[in-house]
């Protein structure tokens, strides 16, 4: 699914949101020190696969709501993990609720810093 439009940009913002909203053992947000380059390759691949699968399933709703790739990446992470913001609060009514419902099968993801110093899920 690497030919999905805007996938790279969506993934970048998905990872940025993941790092911003996740904390290390010290309680500090991971984005205080980590970037996409610090995500373990297998974790980044899984994130990319999830984003690609989500945008394929949600393409019509994403277009209907006129969401930017940045918004899609950000909201997909927040919504799938049950944070207090996401697709449902962008003022898109039933379409936002439908996008939220499409996130549920993906479940939540927890990030952690491995012994290799990289971010894993």
Q: How sure is the predictor about 91, in pLDDT bands with cuts at 50, 70 and 90?
A: very high
Greatest alpha-carbon pair distance for the chain in Å reads 44
CB 72 within 8 A of CB 61: no
Q: Tens digit of pLDDT for each residue in 65-90?
A: 999 999 999 999 999 999 989 999 99
Q: Tens digit of pLDDT for each residue in 93-105?
A: 999 999 999 999 9
Q: What is the pTM of this model?
A: 0.93
Detail the DSSP E strand segments found in the chain. Answer: 112-113, 119-120
> Residue 45: what are its φ and ψ, rounded to 5°?
-65, -45
Task: Report the alpha-carbon distance of residue 119 to residue 41 in Å, rounded.
Answer: 9
8-state DSSP, 90: S
Domain residue limits, the chain: 7-120
């Amino acid at each position: 699914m690497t030919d999905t439009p805007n996938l790279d940009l969506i993934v970048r913002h998905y990872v940025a949101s993941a790092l911003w909203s996740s904390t290390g053992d010290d309680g500090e947000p991971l984005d205080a020190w980590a970037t996409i380059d610090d995500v373990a390759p297998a974790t980044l691949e899984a994130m990319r696969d999830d984003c690609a699968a989500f945008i394929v399933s949600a393409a019509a709703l994403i277009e209907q709501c006129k969401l930017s790739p940045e918004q899609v990446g950000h909201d997909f992470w927040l919504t799938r993990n049950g944070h207090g913001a996401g697709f449902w609060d962008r003022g898109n009514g039933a379409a936002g609720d439908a996008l939220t419902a499409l996130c549920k099968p993906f479940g939540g993801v927890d990030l952690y810093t491995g012994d290799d110093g990289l971010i894993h899920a």
